Amino acid sequence: MKDKICIIGMGYVGLPLAVAFSEKYSVIGFDINCARIKELQSGIDSTLEVPSEALEASRAKLTFSDNPEDIRDSTIYIVTVPTPIDKGNKPDLTPLEKSSETVGKALKPNDIVIYESTVYPGVTEEICVPILESSSGLIYNQDFFCGYSPERINPGDKEHTVKNILKVTSGSTPEIAKKVDSLYSSIIEAGTHLVSSIKVAEASKVIENTQRDVNIALINELAMIFNEMKIDTKEVIEAAATKWNFIKLMPGLVGGHCIGVDPYYLTYKAEELGYKPNLILASRQINNGMGKYVADATIKELIDKEKLVKNSKVLILGYSFKENCPDTRNTRVIDIITNLNKFGVNCVVYDPWVKKWEDMLDFETLEIKPTKENQYDAIILAVNHNEFESFSREYLESLVKDEFILLDVKSASASYTWKL
C-alpha cells in the first residue's frame, strides 16, 4: 500500500511541501488555524508561496483539515510548525510539543514521524519522541520511527523552491533513514543528502542561518565604521567582491523567522552545556541593534537639515522582513519605528506586499501609493521591494518638505542622501 502523508502546519514550509508531495502521494494538510484551512480549501494562499492554479491542480490528491480525527489514516507525518523564541530569546517549543501530542494520538504501529522545524540538536529525540510515546502508548524504534529533514524554504523566492533545493535527510534507524531519504528523493529534483543521525541533521540546519547571521553582522559593523569614515559601503563591497573568495553580502536589517531566530536555539543549547558562544551572541547584538542605528541616523539627518524632530513625519517604505514577500514575522523595521517614536516622530508605513497589519502597531499605514505632496520630513527605504525601484528621485523629492532626506537601509537606490 502506498503511504499517505499528513503534513502538520500549513505555513510557508508546510503548504509548498504538501503541494509537492501531492503530485505522487495522497496528502492531507493539517493546521489548527481554522481560517487558514478555509482559505486553502477555497484555493487561496495568502502567503503567496503557492499560486492558485497550483492549489487547484493538487485538489485530487491534497485535502486540508483542522480536525485531528482526519489524520488518523496517515502513515507518514511531517511536522512543519514554527519554532519561535520567547521575550528572553529562549526557544519556545510549545508549537512543536503540541503538534507532537496531536500526532501521537493518531500514531499506529510502523508509522513514521518526520520533523522539519528548526531546532537545536537533540530536540527530536529528547523532547518530541517522549511526547509521541506518551500520547500513543507506542515504543520508539520498535512500534514507530522518526526522521528529521530540515526545511530550506526561502519565503518570496520563486527560483529556489522546495523541489529544487537539495534536502538533508536522516532517520532513527539505518533502514528508516533510507526510507526517509527515498521519500524525499521521489519529489526533490535537486536530490538529497543522507546523514548518519537525526542530531547531525538538526545541527546542520541550525548552523546554516547562524553562519549567515554572523557574516551579516560583520558587514553591518563594517558599514557603521565606513559611515564614520564617510566611505560608500556598497562601493567598498563591490570592490572587495572582485576577489573570487570574498563572500558578497550587503548590510541591512536581519529579521524573519530564520536568521534572526535560529542562532538563539544553538546558543541556548551551548550555554546549557556550559559553553559561552561569544561570537554568535555578539553578532545577534549587532544585528538586533541595526533598527536603532537607522533611527538615530534619521534623527541626526533631521537635526543637520534644521528640521524639527518632535512631530516630524517620516515615510517608511517597506515593512515585511525581506523584499518581495508579505511575511512580517520578526521584521526589524518595527525597531526603526519604535525608536523614532521615542523622539516624537510620527511614522507612516507603505508596503504594497503587506495586506494584514498587526493590531497593536502604533503607527499609521498606507494601503495605496503615497500621493505627490510635500508632507514628509524624511523617507526611509527599509525594504527593497521591486515596486520601489520605479520611484525616481524626482518623485521621492516631491514627497518631502524642504530639504530632501532619504535614508537607504539596503543601499538600493541611486537617490539616497544617506545609506548603510
Kindly write down the DSSP assignment for every residue of 347-396, as one continuous string.
Answer: EEEE-TT--S--TT--SEEESSPPPSSS-BSEEEE-S--GGGGG--HHHH
Straight-line distance from the first to the last Cα atom of the chain, in angstroms, rounded to the nearest whole number: 58
CA distance linking residue 139 with residue 145, whole number of Å: 9
Q: Which of 128, 258, 325, 347 is catalytic?
A: 258
CA distance linking residue 420 with residue 313, whole number of Å: 21
Q: Strand 418-419 relative to strand 378-381: parallel, antiparallel, unpaired?
A: unpaired
Q: Is 371 exposed, middle or buried (0-12, 13-18, 19+ CB in 10 A)?
A: exposed
Place of cell 542530531: 199
Q: How many CB atoms lie within 10 A of CB 390?
A: 7
Kindly state the cell numbers that stand for 161: 523552491
| Dihedral angle over CA of 252, 254, 256, 260, nearest 10 | 170
Q: How far is CA 145 from each of CA 120, 125, 176, rounded to the nearest angstrom?
A: 20, 10, 7
Known catalytic membership, residue 128: no
Q: HSE on the CB side for 60, CA within 13 Å?
A: 4
CA distance linking residue 372 with residue 394, whole number of Å: 10
Side-by-side strand order, sheet with 313-317? 364-366, 346-350, 313-317, 378-381, 406-408, 418-419
CB 83 within 8 A of CB 118: yes
67 phi and psi, to 5 degrees?
-100, 115
| Dihedral angle over CA of 404, 408, 412, 416, nearest 10 | 30
Kindly state the cell numbers that stand for 236: 567598498
Task: Report the amino acid identity of residue 277.
Answer: P
| Catalytic annotation, residues | 258
